[in-house]
Structure formats: C-alpha cells, structure tokens
Amino acid sequence: MPLRPAFAGCSDIGRRRTSNQDRWCVHEELQLAAVADGMGGMPFGEEAAQAALDALAAHLQESAPEQPAAWSKLLHSVNREVAALGGQLSPATGIGSTLTIARIHAGRLHIAHVGDSALLRLRAGLLEQLTCEHTVASEIRARRAAGHWLPMPARAEHALTSCLGLPRLPEIDVRETDLQAGDRLLLCTDGLTKPVLPQAIRDALASATSPATAAQALVSLANAAGGPDNITVVVAFVEGS
C-alpha cells in the first residue's frame, strides 16, 4: 500500500534569544522535509542554516538521492558550500549549522543527518529517536557504556562534534528504515528536545489531530519549559492510500 505523508512545520524564536537561527523546509513533491539550526556559539548562524537549506534545494533540483552513498555525497557537498560561505563571512571562525533530512521514498524512510537536531518516530505509542546526536555528551555516554569512565564537562550537551561548515565532516548519519501507515515523524532542533521530556513530546504527538496542531503544541511545550533556544519542528503524519 503506497504511503503518503501530510506535513506541517513552524519555528519560534523562544523566550531567551534575540534572533531565530533555525530554518526548515518541506518539499511536498519529493515527500521530503529538513531542519537546520545555525550554531549560536559562532557568528552568522542564520546565514549558515539558510545556506544549508539553499544548497540542499539546489541539489534536489538535479535529483533526490535514493541510495545511502548518494545521501552521503550530498551532505559532503552541502558542507563544502556552507564552509565556503563561512570563509567569506567569517574567515577567522567560519560558520556552522546542523542539518537533518527525512525523505519518504518507495515506502521507506531515508535519513541524512549531521549535528544535534533530531528525527523521531512515534509508532504504536513508542517514541524512538532515529538520529544520533553529534555532541560531546553523546560521545561520553557511548564511551561510558563501553566501560570507560569519563567526566561530563559543563555544556557538553551543546558542544558539537560534527556540523556543517567544517573543513570536512567527521561524523554523519545516513540510513534508511521501514515506515508504516500510522507512523508520526518529528524533525526538530534541540530547542525542543533539550528542555522538553520525551514523554511530553510523545503525548503531544499522539494526541494531536493534525500535523499542524502537533507542531504548534510542541512549540508551546518548549516555550512553557522556558524557551531557552529557538524552536523549530516539522511533523509528518504518514497515511496509507
């Protein structure tokens, strides 16, 4: 049975920022959505996030990748374009952005990701994060799980180990997975996942009557939790036809 997603997205400045450095897009014809979060600790975050989505759109005009190797090539190409812009705008420090892409193709979910934005899937009441966070904290937790004790530095949750704009990408996530009618997908920046508990995100996704009401409810949750960062979400309800 063919699957088709219904998308909705929104972005909010939050309660503590003076500008919104998040960006999002939906390409309905390709059944694709993406979010990008410009790095607040570096200059030109807005420009970095927009450059990531502009470069993505330009590549998609040629063709949408269908294999993991092609998605990997796309991420590296987008990275080079963001890095080149960083060399023009901020030669001393460069610029940086996350990028998380989800595409539904031939009944499968294709994922291409770098940074600490996220893609989550709600299925049969279970909320699962389908992307890894490329942060110092995530790396330390993985090493601890392997039996190596390491201290957790302050701000480790916000220190990225990989993002667009670097001379080369040290880490990327490219994969595909199954998709079912009834699945609900959420792409979001860490302005949602850092302050809001997974159970609250799950409940908001599960109870929403449409992608638009889910997106608005999730933004409201982040702001109710203090809105410490920009908040951007794209929600897709996957339906059978």
The stretch 133-143 carries a mean pLDDT of: 71
CA neighbor of 36 nearest in space, from 118, 133, 159, 128: 118
> Are the C-beta atoms of residues 6 and 214 closer than 8 Å to each other?
no
Determine phi and psi for 178, rounding to 5 degrees. Answer: -75, 160
Residue 166 to residue 230: CA distance in whole angstroms: 22
Domains plus CATH for the chain? 3-240 (3.60.40.10)
Q: How far is Cα 49 from Cα 4, in angstroms, rounded to an integer?
A: 27
Q: Is the pLDDT of residue 218 over 90?
A: yes
pLDDT attached to residue 229: 95
How high is the mean pLDDT of the chain?
93
**What digits encode the pLDDT tens for the residues 34-76?**
999 998 767 899 999 999 999 999 999 988 999 999 999 999 9
Could you tell me the pLDDT band of residue 142, with boundaries at 50, 70 and 90?
low
pLDDT classification of 137: cutoffs 50, 70, 90: low
Strand partners, 110: 103, 176
**Better-scored residue on pLDDT, 137 or 234:** 234
